[in-house]
Amino acid sequence: MDIDQWGHDPQVRFLRRAFSQIEKAQKNLLDKIGISPMDERLRRIRDGALNVFEKAWALSVRRGVSLNEKDFENLYIYSLAYVLERYRIHVPQEILPVDEKAKKIINEATG
């Protein structure tokens, strides 16, 4: 018997890939702005980013906006950037992905 039966579900595989990409993108962004993985603020920042991301995801679902893996990644990165800025940690716009859809959804979810 296969221990990971959920792993055969296409939606579960999609989410696993999406969240794996999110983790890599998060590390990359934090490296670019010089935030150490040991920074004591990161737990609160990540919690806040997850909260914003979940609101934005729910808003997307309600609006019928289809999101692919890259959209998920960008939505999370914009969520993280939003929370970092609230902690007065500057995130240069030029290091963020170019994604007007993600920007708009985050603005609506946090507005």
The Cα-based distances of 22 to 3, 29, 46, 77, 98 in angstroms read 25, 10, 12, 8, 16
Predicted confidence band of residue 5 (pLDDT cuts 50, 70, 90): low
Q: Is residue 39 part of a domain?
A: yes
pLDDT at 4 over 70: no
Q: Is residue 95 part of a domain?
A: yes
Higher pLDDT, 29 or 65: 29
pLDDT tens across 39-71, in order? 999 999 999 999 999 999 999 999 998 888 899
Domain range holding 96?
Answer: 7-110
Average pLDDT in the chain: 90
Angstrom distance (rounded) from CA 67 to CA 71: 5
Q: Is residue 100 part of a domain?
A: yes
pLDDT tens across 70-90, in order? 999 999 999 999 999 999 999
Angstrom distance (rounded) from CA 30 to CA 37: 8
Angstrom distance (rounded) from CA 103 to CA 51: 16
Q: Is residue 1 part of a domain?
A: no
Q: Is residue 2 part of a domain?
A: no
The number of folded domains in the chain is: 1
Structure confidence at residue 1 (pLDDT): 42
